[in-house]
Amino acid sequence: MGAFDNIQIFHEVANEAFKKYEFSEATKIKFLTLSENATYLVYNAKTNKKIGFLRVGRPNYHTHEEYEAEVAWLHEINNYTPLQVANPIYAKDGSYIQDIKGSDDNIYYTLITEALEGEPLDENDTEHIVDQYEMLGEITAYLHKQTQMWNKTSKLNRWAWDYDNIIGKTAKWGHWQDYEGFSDKDKIVLTQCDEIIQKRLLRYGKTKENWGLIHADLRQSNVLIDKNKKIKVIDFDDAGFGWYLQDLAASISFIEHKSIAPDLINGWLRGYKKVMPFSDESFAEIDTFIMLRRLQMSAWLETHSDSDPAKNFKIGWVEGTMMLAKRYLRIFG
């Protein structure tokens, strides 16, 4: 049974959560999409002005304490870095996170963050996309630098995106082996990639230079650019502790196999190096983290087949994945 099989419960929870806020009578909510959460637009029905986005988390994905950690990081970024992220909006009682009991007796955690102006990055905008990825690399470096300097980072209650939680025995988004499009022959090739990835991650290790608090989902839809060419980062729902290289790999999610990907990576690296060092050891593992992310997203596509984004991403997924896998084995196999 999918997490969103009974979408009506999410709508009911969203409406209950909305009542806890001090919005004007003209303010309404409208369902937008399904992914890790059900997301709703909060807007002024008279002016159509966007006010914020209401997230209703699926049961048992995050705890209340994990949401509190996300809120704490958002405030820290906005207060002490040059970056702009979507701040949470507090309810009538001054709280940011609402615990709503659904008609299925599950507890649903909800959060409203402010709406930021801008449009998602688009790899088809060939005139600007590489420069935008350079800015994204710079912004990502500021995020990493901030978490290294913030003395409360290690105390935040967020899970770890290690091998086991990404594609191993406790994978948060399911197992890539279950993706329905992979043939038995494909799985043999991908298993070879998986085994090499695990060995290389063990050798790469977890150090203060390569491991820390990360956004973990800095793909194009979560990065906005406004009319002044300022980049903004949204959707910290998957933030946790992981390798910094995961933020690079996530930035080219679903387009790793496209011809523009190497240019985007090089642009990202130029931006990142303006703020933070990037070691030769990390450079050597870029392909490993890209393949790791591709396998992770294969699992995500299968376990989130009821989400709106997954339906489009599945087109050509197997062909693109196998192209990347064969290339990876040519390099490291």
Q: Residues with Cβ < 8 Å from 70, sequence gap 6 or more?
A: 111, 158, 236, 237, 239
- Three-state SS across 52-63? EEEEEECCCCCC
Residue 130 lies in a domain: yes
The domain that holds 51 is classified in CATH as 3.30.200.20
Regarding whether 173 and 25 lie in a shared domain, the answer is no
Residue 1 lies in a domain: no
All residue ranges of the chain with pLDDT < 50 are: 1
- Give me the residues paired with residue 213 across strands: 241
Measured distance CA(226)–CA(213) in Å, rounded = 26
User: What is the number of helices (H) and of strands (E) in the chain?
Assistant: 11, 10
pLDDT of residue 4: 59
Measured distance CA(203)–CA(301) in Å, rounded = 29
Report pTM. Answer: 0.93
- Give me the residues paired with residue 31 across strands: 40
The alpha carbon of 260 is separated from its chain's Cα centroid by a whole number of angstroms, namely 21
Helices (H), 37-128: 64-80
Which of the listed residues 50, 84, 114 is the one where a domain comes to its end? 114
pLDDT of residue 1: 42
Regarding whether 205 and 143 lie in a shared domain, the answer is yes
Regarding whether 123 and 66 lie in a shared domain, the answer is no
Residue 37 is encoded by which pair of tokens?
């959460």
φ, ψ at 116 (rounded to 5°)? -105, 145
Residue 51 lies in a domain: yes
Domain around 195: 119-332
Measured distance CA(204)–CA(202) in Å, rounded = 6
Please name the residue that has the structure tokens 């996309």: 129
Number of domains in the chain: 2
Which of the listed residues 114, 133, 148 is the one where a domain comes to its end? 114
Residue 158 · residue 71 · CB < 8 Å: no
Measured distance CA(43)–CA(23) in Å, rounded = 10
Instruction: With both helix axes pointing from N to C terminus, report the angle between 317-332 and 184-204 in degrees, rounded to the nearest 10.
Output: 50
pLDDT of residue 3: 55
pLDDT of residue 181: 95
| Residue 38: how many other CB atoms lie within 10 Å | 25
Measured distance CA(214)–CA(225) in Å, rounded = 20
pLDDT of residue 12: 97
Instruction: Describe the strand order of the beta sheet including 119-120 as a list of residue ranges.
Output: 119-120, 223-225, 231-233
Question: What size, in residues, is the chain?
Answer: 333
Residue 328 · residue 200 · CB < 8 Å: no
Regarding whether 75 and 152 lie in a shared domain, the answer is no
Regarding whether 324 and 187 lie in a shared domain, the answer is yes
pLDDT of residue 2: 52
Which of the listed residues 64, 96, 114 is the one where a domain comes to its end? 114
- Give me the residues paired with residue 41 across strands: 30, 53
pLDDT of residue 141: 96
- Give me the residues paired with residue 54 across strands: 40, 112
Regarding whether 176 and 255 lie in a shared domain, the answer is yes
Residue 187 lies in a domain: yes
Strand runs labelled E in 61-218 = 97-101, 107-114, 119-120, 211-214
